Amino acid sequence: MLAMSCMTVPFLAVAADGPWSEISVGGRADAQRAQYDVMVVSIDGSMDFPDQPVYRFAPGRHGLLLGSLKRGPSGEMIAQSLSVEMQPCTRYVLAADHSHPEPNRSWEPRMVGTEPIAKCMKKYAGQLSSTTAPVASNAP
């Protein structure tokens, strides 16, 4: 693990020396927009990682299983899958969108923002080419 400020960020499939991507899952709730924080249940099929607000990845496609922190009427947490094509030196902010519930799906995972990772951009500026827009889908 890498210590950053007061927070530890686990490395998940990150090359020893190269650009990385991040997922951020906390602190973006907005009840007026029916948007709630999520927790990461699994990453690329693995559940062997600590619960953190930020996760590091090697760039590329990764499959996530997310749970909304807004529980269902009986207190259940319903997990939804999201597949993200992560670009180098980019942080993806995820949330649960409860604005259009369906009978069998009370929420949808959403990418609510992206932002450059300044430290990564500075360190690997010479290795980065123009990036494409992030791609997210609910398909695994």
Taking the model in full, what pTM does it have?
Answer: 0.79
Q: Name the more confident of 21 and 105.
A: 21
The answer to whether position 134 is within a domain reads: no
User: Mean pLDDT across the stretch 95-99?
Assistant: 94
Cα separation of 9 and 121, whole Å? 18
Q: Would you say residue 4 lies in a domain?
A: no
What pLDDT, on a 0 to 100 scale, did the predictor assign at position 96? 95
In a domain, 62, yes or no: yes
Helix, strand or coil, per DSSP, at residue 37: coil
pLDDT in tens, 2-49: 333 333 344 455 555 799 999 999 888 898 899 999 999 999 999 999
pLDDT of res. 63: 97
Q: Establish if 101 belongs to a structural domain.
A: yes
Distances (CA, A) of 54 to 90, 101, 105: 12, 27, 26
Half-sphere exposure of 41 (CA within 13 A, CB side): 13
Average pLDDT across the chain, whole number: 83
pLDDT for res 9: 42
For residue 31, give its domain range: 22-115
pLDDT at 101 over 50: yes
Establish if 88 belongs to a structural domain. yes
Judge whether 11 lies within some domain: no
- Which is more confidently placed, 7 or 71? 71
Higher pLDDT, 64 or 27: 64
* Rounded Cα distance, 26 and 139, in Å: 23
In a domain, 90, yes or no: yes
Amino acid letter for position 92: Y
DSSP state of 121: H
Residue 83 lies in a domain: yes
Q: Quick one: pLDDT at residue 137?
A: 58
Considering its fold, how many domains does the chain have in total? 1
Residues 115-126 pLDDT 10s: 999 999 999 988
